[in-house]
Amino acid sequence: METALQRADEVQLSVEDATAADLARVAHMCGVAVEAGATVVGLPDAAGHMLPAGYAAFVAEVRRRCPGLERVTLSVHCHDDLGLAVAGSLAAVEAGADQVECTVNGIGEHAGNTSLEELVVALRVRADHYDVATGVDTTRIAAVSRLVAQRSGYVVQPNKAIVGANAFAHEAGIHQDGMLKDERTYQIVDPSDVGVRMTLPLGKHSGRHAFAMACAERGIHVSGEELNTAFRKFKALADFGGAVPIDAVFEEVTA
CATH number of the CATH domain containing 138:
3.20.20.70
Contact 203, 171 (CB under 8 A): yes
Total domains, the chain: 2
* Residue at which a domain ends, from 152, 186, 215: 152
Same domain, 142 and 202: no
d(CA 57, CA 237): 54
Asked if the model's pLDDT at residue 238 lies above 80, the reply is no
Domain boundaries, position 229: 173-254
DSSP assignment letter at 104: G
Same domain, 88 and 189: no
pLDDT at 192: 77
pLDDT at 176: 58
Asked if the model's pLDDT at residue 251 lies above 80, the reply is no
Please compute the mean of the pLDDT values over residues 213-227 and round it to a whole number.
80
What is the arrangement of strands in the sheet containing 40-45, beginning at the earlier edge strand? 12-14, 40-45, 73-78, 99-101
Mean pLDDT of the chain: 86
Same domain, 119 and 210: no
Q: Which residue has the higher pLDDT, 253 or 208?
A: 208
For residue 200, name the pLDDT band (cuts at 50, 70, 90).
low
Same domain, 177 and 69: no
Same domain, 60 and 132: yes
Same domain, 122 and 6: yes
d(CA 98, CA 108): 21
d(CA 38, CA 71): 10
Residues 6+ apart with CB under 8 A from 201: 169, 170, 171, 243
Asked if the model's pLDDT at residue 237 lies above 70, the reply is yes
pLDDT tens digits for range 67-78: 999 999 999 999
Same domain, 146 and 65: yes
Same domain, 66 and 123: yes
Same domain, 104 and 198: no
pLDDT at 178: 63
pLDDT at 252: 46
Same domain, 110 and 205: no
User: Does 160 map to a domain?
Assistant: no
* Residue at which a domain ends, from 88, 122, 152: 152
Could you tell me which residues are beta bridge partners of residue 235?
A: none
Contact 11, 39 (CB under 8 A): yes
Same domain, 85 and 56: yes
pLDDT tens digits for range 26-48: 999 999 999 999 999 999 999 89
Same domain, 123 and 184: no
For residue 255, name the pLDDT band (cuts at 50, 70, 90).
very low
The end-to-end CA distance of the chain, in Å, is 79
d(CA 53, CA 10): 30
User: Does 15 map to a domain?
Assistant: yes
Say which range, 118-122, 154-158, 195-199, 231-235, has the weakest mean pLDDT: 195-199
Asked if the model's pLDDT at residue 112 lies above 70, the reply is yes
